[in-house]
Amino acid sequence: MRKKSNSNSNDDVPLIGSSVIPLINKLQDIFSPLGDIDNRLTGLRLPQVAVIGSQSSGKSSVLEALVGRDFLPRGCDICTRRPLVLQLEKCCDDGIGNESFEWGEFGHLQDKRFYDFDAVRREILAETEKEVGVNKGVSDKQIRLKICSPNVLNITLVDLPGITKVPVGDQPSDIEARIRNMIMSYIKQETSIILAVSPANADLANSDALQMAKEVDPTGTRTIGVITKLDIMDKGTDARNFLLGKVIPLRLGYIGVVNRSQEDINNNRSIRQALAHEEQFFRDYHVYRGLSDRCGIPQLAKKLNQILEQHIRNVLPTLKTDLTSHLVAVEKELRSYGEALESKGERGAMLLNILTKYSEAFSAEVDGKSQAMTTKELSGGARIHHIFQSIFVKSLEEVDPCDDLSDEDIRIAIHNATGPRNALFVPEVPFEVLVRRQIARLLDPSLQCLRFVYDELIKISRACESGEMRRFSELRSRLEDVTARFLRDSVKPAERMITNLIDMEMDYINSSHPNFIGGTKAVDMAQSELKAMQVPTTLILFHV
Ligand SMILES: Nc1nc2c(ncn2[C@@H]2O[C@H](COP(=O)(O)OP(=O)(O)OP(=O)(O)O)[C@@H](O)[C@H]2O)c(=O)[nH]1
């Protein structure tokens, strides 16, 4: 456990009225298990501050300075690999009477408080590696961390992976697009405030963060610019004009900060010392004199808290309306599922009822007694009839008995069968060989018809799912699986029987049939017999 640090740069910052930020935090906690980053499920857009910037621009350093603690994985390489939702809550004791304690709590490890901030860092690393491995992979699955401390102001921020250009380690080749999409999903929401972090030692006018922010917030009404690394700018240059908003104007303005360098971290310079150093930097550097309200971490904390509070108050009425209508819709859906099933007996009866309804609906669909009869399209059994009567018959008729069989083929077959002798009549053997080849061509359309019938039965099975079944998603997917397996199993014997029928037709050419007058007629006869037998439909329905 760590003691409260005496230096509290934020202590003298007054809170504006009673904070609404914890209220939004609670809502975020409630909705986060849904994993609804894009709000597609709930449609609710909760206010939040998204921290964006190119890789190693200093985002994590800013967050640590705001908290006043070392707790994030940091370095020159990619460090933030999953979005970190950081809820800072000002609290004066640890909930069990001990004042001045700071602690962290993860969304995935509730009821476990971390008083050691090195353990917080290790947990963030472990959680990241659990999801994306050790080799620089990136994921959009959030890590949620609440930090309660007397030294923070109420702010909720989302630390996002840095924008990168070149894939390294296990990163896919489209890593830049992936990270940009992830960032976009946060900042495109009108309820998000964008904290665009840009390092002063790179070309500020071309900052990735400011460019992305501009795409979604062209008027700059919800973007705060943070300029880091003011201490390592090129000699003779400064960021004064930027901080004054003269280069890229932002309504919410800019804040310049000086965080710890990597060397400072390696030398164990504490954040308290770093904040004192930052204060000294702005005092000494005459170029930034007169800009005290735009310089330093304490100013950033104050500004963020004020903007977020105001922002939440602005969106609160709409949010309340959205929440109420969402609640009404969810309650309605809940009522449609019926009463809770307490006992095993009730559950059994319900299960039996659902299964009976399902099988009755299936039979009704196939037999043609369902309500679908009233619609304008063919469905169920009628559709199967159509497949057989129109599609199958047509495909059989399209098989030309003389296709691929020329007079020359017949002549050669006769000569080959009679050897040196002259043939007076068409010998039986070449006749049967040629006809069999033609009859075999009826197999494909017959098997295709079987596949159509199978697809139709699958469609019918889906159409039979009752409203009640939506309540039990597990039962629904199991029933779908079982029906699909059952139909799949029925396909095999049906295929076998179709093949047997064709084989039978090929095996015995019935030349005593009244319609028989020659070779091609044999194929015609096979066609009409297949049609008459309604082969595939009968077989698969027989199995069902
Ligand atoms: N000199 C100096 N170094 C800084 C400053 N801010 C950050 N750094 C250093 O820049 C490096 C990257 O900082 P991070 O805070 O990890 O950057 P990040 O944007 O969170 O990085 P990713 O999460 O990997 O994208 C670290 O070595 C920091 O010590 C600053 O204001 N001055």
53 CA closest ligand 1 atom index: 19
The residues spanned by each domain of the chain are 43-317, 348-509, 520-544
Q: Tell me: the pLDDT tens digits for 532-542?
A: 555 444 445 44
Phi and psi (nearest 5°) for 183?
A: -60, -45
Quick one: pLDDT at residue 449? Answer: 92
120 within ligand 1 shell (Cβ under 6 A) = no
Q: What is the average pLDDT across 276-280? A: 92
User: 60: CA distance to ligand 1 center in Å?
Assistant: 7
Q: Under DSSP, is residue 66 helix (H, G, I), strand (E, B) or coil? A: helix
- Give the fold, CATH level 3, of 348-509: Four Helix Bundle (Hemerythrin (Met), subunit A) (1.20.120)
Q: Under DSSP, is residue 86 helix (H, G, I), strand (E, B) or coil? A: strand
Shortest-distance Cα residue to atom 23 of ligand 1: 80
**Comparing 501 with 333, which gets the higher pLDDT?**
501
Angle at 50 between CA 233 and CA 104, to 5 degrees: 100
At how many degrees (to 10) do helices 344-367 and 443-463 cross? 140
Q: Tell me: the pLDDT tens digits for 512-523?
A: 776 665 555 556
Quick one: pLDDT at residue 5? Answer: 37
pLDDT at 93 over 60: no
- Give the whole-angstrom CA distance, residue 537 versus residue 526: 17
Quick one: pLDDT at residue 170? Answer: 63
Strands of 46-203, DSSP E = 48-53, 84-90, 103-106, 113-114, 143-149, 155-159, 192-199
Q: Tell me if 43-317 shares its fold with 348-509.
A: no
Residue 213 token pair? 């922010």
Residues 454/536, Cβ–Cβ less than 8 Å: no
Residues 127/112, Cβ–Cβ less than 8 Å: no
Mean pLDDT taken over the chain: 80
pLDDT at 11 over 50: no
**Comparing 436 with 371, which gets the higher pLDDT?**
436
pLDDT at 107 over 50: yes
82 within ligand 1 shell (Cβ under 6 A) = no
Poorest-pLDDT segment among 26-30, 34-38, 152-156, 430-434: 34-38
CA nearest 162: which of 310, 61, 89, 235?
A: 61
Quick one: pLDDT at residue 409? Answer: 77
User: 368: CA distance to ligand 1 center in Å?
Assistant: 70
65 within ligand 1 shell (Cβ under 6 A) = no
Quick one: pLDDT at residue 225? Answer: 94
pLDDT-derived band of residue 313, with 50, 70 and 90 as boundaries? confident
Q: What is the average pLDDT across 377-382? A: 82
Residue 246 token pair? 């003269």
The β-bridge partners of 224 are 195
**Comparing 61 with 204, which gets the higher pLDDT?**
61
Name residues whose C-beta falls within 8 Å of residue 384's C-beta, 6 or more positions apart in sequence. Answer: 366, 453, 456, 457, 537, 541
Quick one: pLDDT at residue 537? Answer: 46
pLDDT at 17 over 50: no
74 CA closest ligand 1 atom index: 16
Quick one: pLDDT at residue 177? Answer: 85
Q: What is the average pLDDT across 32-57? A: 72
Quick one: pLDDT at residue 529? Answer: 62
54 within ligand 1 shell (Cβ under 6 A) = no
User: 131: CA distance to ligand 1 center in Å?
Assistant: 24
pLDDT at 266 over 80: yes
Name residues whose C-beta falls within 8 Å of residue 123's C-beta, 6 or more positions apart in sequence. Answer: 106, 109, 114
- Report the share of the chain in percent with pLDDT over 90: 21
User: 143: CA distance to ligand 1 center in Å?
Assistant: 20
**Comparing 127 with 171, which gets the higher pLDDT?**
127
User: 109: CA distance to ligand 1 center in Å?
Assistant: 28
Side chain identity at residue 231, one-letter code: D
Q: Tell me: the pLDDT tens digits for 187-241?
A: 998 888 999 999 998 888 889 999 999 999 998 889 999 999 999 988 888 889 8
Q: Tell me: the pLDDT tens digits for 325-338?
A: 888 988 888 887 77
Angle at 454 between CA 449 and CA 459, to 5 degrees: 125
Residues 43/100, Cβ–Cβ less than 8 Å: no
Q: What is the average pLDDT across 86-94? A: 74
78 within ligand 1 shell (Cβ under 6 A) = yes
435 within ligand 1 shell (Cβ under 6 A) = no
| DSSP-derived pairing of the beta strands 84-90 and 192-199 | unpaired
Strands of 207-283, DSSP E = 223-228, 254-256
- Give the whole-angstrom CA distance, residue 166 versus residue 180: 13
519 within ligand 1 shell (Cβ under 6 A) = no
pLDDT at 94 over 60: no
Quick one: pLDDT at residue 47? Answer: 80
Shortest-distance Cα residue to atom 12 of ligand 1: 56
Q: What is the DSSP letter of 423?
A: P
3-state helix, strand, coil in the chain (%, to 5): 55, 10, 35
Shortest-distance Cα residue to atom 9 of ligand 1: 261
267 within ligand 1 shell (Cβ under 6 A) = no
Nearest 10 degrees: Cα torsion 212, 271, 301, 84:
50
Mutate to test the pocket of ligand 1, among 51, 56, 269 (most ligand atoms within 8 A of CB): 56
164 within ligand 1 shell (Cβ under 6 A) = no
Q: How many other β-carbons are positioned within 10 Å of the β-carbon of residue 34?
A: 11
pLDDT at 158 over 70: yes
Q: Tell me: the pLDDT tens digits for 442-482?
A: 899 999 999 999 999 998 888 887 777 777 888 888 988 99
Residues 223/194, Cβ–Cβ less than 8 Å: yes
pLDDT-derived band of residue 4, with 50, 70 and 90 as boundaries? very low
CA nearest 269: which of 79, 119, 65?
A: 65
201 within ligand 1 shell (Cβ under 6 A) = no
Shortest-distance Cα residue to atom 31 of ligand 1: 229
User: 410: CA distance to ligand 1 center in Å?
Assistant: 86
Instruction: For residue 393, count CB atoms less than 10 angstroms from its CB and return exposed for 0-12, middle for 13-18, buried for 19 or more.
Output: middle
250 within ligand 1 shell (Cβ under 6 A) = no
- Give the whole-angstrom CA distance, residue 61 versus residue 73: 10
Residues 228/200, Cβ–Cβ less than 8 Å: yes
Residues 525/510, Cβ–Cβ less than 8 Å: yes
Domain 43-317 has CATH 3.40.50.2300: no
238 within ligand 1 shell (Cβ under 6 A) = no
pLDDT at 42 over 80: no
User: 68: CA distance to ligand 1 center in Å?
Assistant: 15
Shortest-distance Cα residue to atom 14 of ligand 1: 58
